[in-house]
Amino acid sequence: MTGTVGRSARAQRLENVALELFATQGFDETTVDELAVAGGVGRRTFFRYFPTKLDVVLGELDDGLAALAAVLGAQPGDDPVAAARAAFLAVNHYAAAELPALRRRLGLIEDVPELAARATVRYRDWEQTLAADAARRWEVDAGSLRAQVFGRAVVAAMRAVFSAWHARPEADADALGALVAEAFDQLGRGFS
């Protein structure tokens, strides 16, 4: 859910090559050996950057969560909706050159059942990060229903945003930002 931050040039190249191969050959049909050769590295080097083939697609979710948590923690105030909105807008800036890879990634997560299932597991960490931040701002327990509903609702809204954006091939990075803002307008009415 965020732009590529903190990745080495080699890891980024491997990821881009892999996403392109997955899009053309299919995720299940593409082997790690093919990914390594296409990326100009050996199999062992590939595994230094990506522990599994799934991590090529899903690793950015972990990087994105780290970026989101940092930005979220720096947001002032006691309104978790405003804080989450600012944080998601801040971490979801994509350069035009990054959009094709983002579209491939989103398509894979939506279309490959194993990736969709694994992404759902990773989204739990996003939900808990948002719930903990909301709980801190509301001065309630992170396990409270209100905080848990908030965390899950925000992640569901952002997943819907990315699905809606992905469904519009002409949509650019500005359109993605507008969808994020619109989703938080809706969430704000419910959590005010």
Mean pLDDT by 10 residues, the chain (192 residues): 60 92 94 94 94 92 92 96 96 92 94 94 96 98 97 97 95 95 93 68
**47 in a structural domain:** no
pLDDT of residue 3: 46
pLDDT of residue 167: 95
**150 in a structural domain:** yes
**24 in a structural domain:** no
**27 in a structural domain:** no
**pTM beyond 0.85, yes or no:** yes
Rounded Cα gap, residues 181 and 131, in angstroms = 19
Rounded Cα gap, residues 20 and 43, in angstroms = 18
Rounded Cα gap, residues 58 and 128, in angstroms = 18
**40 in a structural domain:** no
Backbone dihedral angles phi then psi of residue 57, each to the nearest 5 degrees: -85, -40
**33 in a structural domain:** no
Residue range(s) defining the domain that contains residue 153:
53-191
Number of structural domains the chain divides into: 1
CB 83 within 8 A of CB 77: yes
- Looking at residue 110, which CATH number applies to its domain? 1.10.357.10
Rounded Cα gap, residues 75 and 178, in angstroms = 20
